[in-house]
Amino acid sequence: EDKVVQSPLSLVVHEGDTVTLNCSYEVTNFRSLLWYKQEKKAPTFLFMLTSSGIEKKSGRLSSILDKKELFSILNITATQTGDSAVYLCAVLPKTSYDKVIFGPGTSLSVIP
């Protein structure tokens, strides 16, 4: 059965710390992996990763995909309280007949 696993499920850090969030997957017909940040209701798109080994960066956030080992990491440097959220990892399938599969999310709390 296809699945996406994230770790840790919950994390508490102090402002200024660097965090690494993990996402591993077992999905047939893999096409792309997405990272989202979810505060309150709707998720906000962060990154879309399709190729292995190419780091994507946006400010203090960066992410990379390893298609051989079937995982991705999301790094946040110099964390701020505004980074507190649930970070979701999702895998998009190659064909139009497969479902999008989300991981359970990592709940990150950044305390002052």
The residues binding other proteins (CB under 8 A) are 31-32, 34, 36, 41-45, 48, 88, 90, 92-105
Question: Considering beta carbons, is residue 17 or 98 the nearer one to other proteins?
Answer: 98
Question: Considering beta carbons, is residue 79 or 103 the nearer one to other proteins?
Answer: 103
Question: Considering beta carbons, is residue 32 or 84 the nearer one to other proteins?
Answer: 32
In the three-class reduction of DSSP (H, G, I as helix; E, B as strand; rest coil), residue 50 is classed as: coil
Q: How far is the CB of 16 from other proteins (least distance, A)?
A: 29
CA distance linking residue 71 with residue 104, whole number of Å: 15
Question: Considering beta carbons, is residue 25 or 103 the nearer one to other proteins?
Answer: 103
Output the CA–CA distances (angstroms, integers) from residue 98 to 4, 31, 43, 51, 101, in the order listed: 14, 11, 21, 20, 9
In the three-class reduction of DSSP (H, G, I as helix; E, B as strand; rest coil), residue 98 is classed as: coil
CA distance linking residue 74 with residue 23, whole number of Å: 8
Q: How far is the CB of 34 from other proteins (least distance, A)?
A: 7
CA distance linking residue 95 with residue 27, whole number of Å: 12
Q: How far is the CB of 111 from other proteins (least distance, A)?
A: 22
Q: How far is the CB of 17 from other proteins (least distance, A)?
A: 25
